[in-house]
Amino acid sequence: MLIDTKRSLYAKAAAVPQENIHWRNGFWKERFDLCGKVTIPHILGLFEDKNVFHTVENFRIAAGESSGSFRGTPYGDGDFYKLLEGMMYFAAQTNDRDMEDQLNEYIALIGRAQQEDGYLSTKQIIGERQGNGRKRFGDINDFEVYNFGHLFTAACQHKRITGKDSFLQIAVKAAGYLEKEYQEASKTGAGITAVCPSHYMGLVELYRTTGDIRYLDLAKLAVSLRDAVPDGTDDNQDRYPLREHTSIVGHAVRSTYLYAGVADLYLETGDESLKAMLYQVWHNMAEKKLYLTGGCGALYNGVSPYGDFTKDQKVHQAFGYEYQLPNITAYNETCGALGNILWNYRMFAIEPRARYFDLIERSMYNLALAAISLDGDQYFYENMLRRTKKLDFKLIWPRTRSHVLKCFCCPANLSRFLMESMEYTYAIGEEEVYLGMYGASEVKIRLKNGSSFTMIQDTDYPWSGRIRFRFANVESDRGFLLMIRVPGWAESGSVEYDGTSRRITEEDGSSYLPLKVHDLKNSRIEVCFDMPARLTVAHPMVEEDGNQAAVERGPIVYCMESPDADVDTLDDILMPSDAVFREEDYEICGQRLVALKTEAVVLRKKQNRDALYQTLRIDGIDRISVRLIPYFAWDNRGFGEMRIWMPLLYRL
C-alpha cells in the first residue's frame, strides 16, 4: 500500500491494502493495463539493455557475475527499485506468474550484489573493486541514500503484497549499514545531507512494516544530522534548519520528497513543530507556486528568492518567486509532481481534508498522464504548458516525448504510480470511508466499528460526473459514514440516497459531505457533479497569464493544438469570454476522449512576426470553429503548437 498508517498514532485516515481493491473498468483500468503490458516491459527492456542504461548489468557486475565497469546514472539503482515496485502491483493484481518469477530473480540478484556489511549501491561497489577512486558517501550527488530509500520502500511493498521476506531482508541489512554510518556521524558532530531524500519515507515505512523502533529513531537521527550540515543550500533545502522553513524553495523533487518524509515522521511522533512547518510550506506551494496542471518547480535554473541577496544561490528545478509560472519554459519535472502527490497524500492522513485530494487529482489527471504518450512508451521529463513552432533558444530537454531520456527517473517513477493508482480511491477512519480519486472500482472494507462489506463504484469519470455506489458481500452492517469528496471545481450537483436528495452548491466545493449509510444490502447511492466546461483565470501576479484563460471540464485541463484550429498560428486566436462549449467524443491513438468544440475569434494582423516591437495593424476579425483536447493527450498527433492559456476577448 502507499503508506501503512493503520497503526500510526497521529494518522486520522489509512489506505486500503491493494489486495482489497481493484479497478473494474473505465479510465484508470485502461491506464493500469497499458502500463503493465506496455510501459513496464518497455522500461525493463531499456534497463536490461547493456547499450542503453546498463542498469541490470550493473547489479550483475556488482554481484561478480559479469565483468565490466559501471555505466549509467548513479541513481539507476533507485529507478530500478521503483520499477520493481510497479511490477509487484501488476503481478499481484493480474496474477501474472511470469512477472512474479522475474521479480524473484531480480530480488535474488540484488541480494547477491549486496555487500556483507549491508552496503548496496552498484556504482561504489564496482568502483571499490576496480580501485577507480570511487568511495562510499564521498559525494551526495552519487545518490546513494536516494537508492537506499527506494530500496526500503520497494522492499516494504513487496512484503505487504507477497508476504515474503526475501526483499525485506536485503532492506533491513542495508538499513543496518546506514544506521552505523549515521550513529558514527552523530558521535563526531558531522552533518549529513542527501539529495532527493527518499530515505526518510523509506525508513519510516521500514518501521511500520517491521515494528522495529530502530528505523523510526534512524529517521529522526537523519533529520537532525541534516540540520547540522555546514554551508547548506536552498537547492537542497538545508540552508536553514528544517523547523525554520516558511516557504517552499529549491529543487522540486528534493523538496517534495523531504516534506513527504517529514509528514511521515509527524504521523508516527506527533511532533507539532513539524506539523506547523508542513502547513506553512504547503500553503506557500499550493496557493502561490503550483501550476494549473499540478506541476511544480517552474524554472530549470533559478535563484533562491529568500535570505541575504548577497548570498543568492543558483537552484535547479527552482520554485522561484511567488507566482513565477512561465509557460514555454515551464520545467515541471514529472518526479516533482509525483513527489507532490506523495506529500499531499500524507498531509491527508494527518488531516483528512478534501483540498489535498484536489491537488492529487489535478496532478494525476493532468501532469502525470501528460508525461507519458497515449501508446505508453514515450515520455516527457519536463512538462511545458505552451509549445511554439519555432524557439530561438534551446531547452535542456526535447520538446516532444522520447522513447529514451538521458535521465530516466521519471518514467520508472510514473510506472509505479500508475500501478498503485487504485490506492488513491479510498481511505478509512474509525467509522468513515473517505472518497479520494473517483473511478470504476471495487473495494473490500473492514472498519473498526465492525462493519465489513464490499463497495462497488460505477462511473465514467472523468468524462461524466455521475458516480453510483452499491454494496455486496455484507458480512457485518453496523453502518458507516461515507465521506463524499466534493472536488474544488464542482459548483453544482446532487447526492441521492434511499429516496432522499441533497443539492451540491459552490460552497460545498473542496469539502467532504458526510452521509450516514445503513442497511447496506438494500442501499444505493448516486453522486452527480455537474461538469460544464469553464474558463479559468490566474492570479494577476502570474504575469504570463494576464488577460488569458484556460479551459477546464471536471478535473481535466484542456489545451489547443495545431490540428484543432485552421490558422497559421494559435497565437492569433482569441477565446471569447462567453464561449459556449459542446462535448465531442473523439479518439487519439485509439483512445476515447471527450473533446470540446467552440467558436473562437481569429485576429488577422498585418505584422512582421520576427519583430521585437511594432505598430499594431489589424486587417480583420474572423470566427472559426476550434477544438480543445485534454492536456494529457497532447503531443500524440505530430509536432505542432500547443497552448493551455488563450488570450481573452471580453464580451459584456
DSSP string, 35-93: IIIIIHHHHHHHHH-TTTT-HHHHHHHHTTSS-S---S-TTHHHHHHHHHHHHHHHHHH
What is the rounded CA–CA span in Å between residue 559 and residue 387? 11
DSSP code for 25: S
Any idea which of 236-250, 265-279, 531-545 has the lowest mean pLDDT? 236-250
Give the architecture-level CATH label for domain 427-529.
Sandwich (2.60)
Give the residue-averaged pLDDT of 415-442: 96
Instruction: Tell me whether strands 646-649 and 573-576 are parallel, antiparallel or unpaired.
Output: parallel
What is the rounded CA–CA span in Å between residue 559 and residue 632? 9
What is the rounded CA–CA span in Å between residue 167 and residue 616? 66
pLDDT attached to residue 306: 62
| 619 has pLDDT over 60 | yes
Q: What cell numbers appear for 317 in the block?
A: 528545478
Give the architecture-level CATH label for domain 14-424.
Alpha/alpha barrel (1.50)
pLDDT attached to residue 362: 98
Domain residue ranges in the chain: 14-424, 427-529, 534-649
pLDDT attached to residue 354: 98
pLDDT attached to residue 307: 56
Give the residue-averaged pLDDT of 28-48: 97
What is the rounded CA–CA span in Å between residue 622 and residue 286? 39
When computed from its CA atoms, the radius of gyration of the chain, rounded to whole angstroms, is 25
Q: How do residues 375-390 score in pLDDT, each as one tens digit?
A: 999 999 999 999 999 9
Give the residue-averaged pLDDT of 430-456: 96
Instruction: Tell me whether strands 299-303 and 314-318 are parallel, antiparallel or unpaired.
Output: antiparallel
In 302-421, which ranges are continuous DSSP H helix? 334-350, 354-362, 369-370, 409-419
Three-state SS at 629: strand
Three-state SS at 636: coil
Higher pLDDT, 1 or 608: 608
| 224 has pLDDT over 70 | yes
| 652 has pLDDT over 70 | no
The closest alpha carbon to 326, from 388, 401, 282, 374, belongs to 388
- Note whether 451 and 479 are within 8 A (CB): yes
The band of 128, judged by pLDDT with boundaries at 50, 70 and 90, is: very high
Report the 3 state secondary structure along 361-389: HHHHHHHHHHCECCCCCCECCCCCCEECC
pLDDT attached to residue 276: 97
Identify any residues that bridge with 592 across adjacent strands, giving them in sequence order: 587
Q: How far, in Å, are 13, 23, 192, 441, 442 from residue 20 at the CA level?
A: 16, 11, 40, 11, 8
Instruction: Tell me whether strands 524-529 and 618-630 are parallel, antiparallel or unpaired.
Output: unpaired
pLDDT attached to residue 133: 79
| 270 has pLDDT over 70 | yes
- Note whether 535 and 576 are within 8 A (CB): no
- Note whether 141 and 74 are within 8 A (CB): yes
pLDDT attached to residue 606: 86
Arithmetic mean of pLDDT over the chain: 95
User: What is the value of pTM for the model shown?
Assistant: 0.97
Give the residue-averaged pLDDT of 284-292: 97
The closest alpha carbon to 114, from 167, 70, 182, 62, belongs to 62
The band of 310, judged by pLDDT with boundaries at 50, 70 and 90, is: low
Give the residue-averaged pLDDT of 92-109: 97
Give the residue-averaged pLDDT of 470-486: 96
**Hey, what amino acid is at 111?**
G
pLDDT attached to residue 395: 87
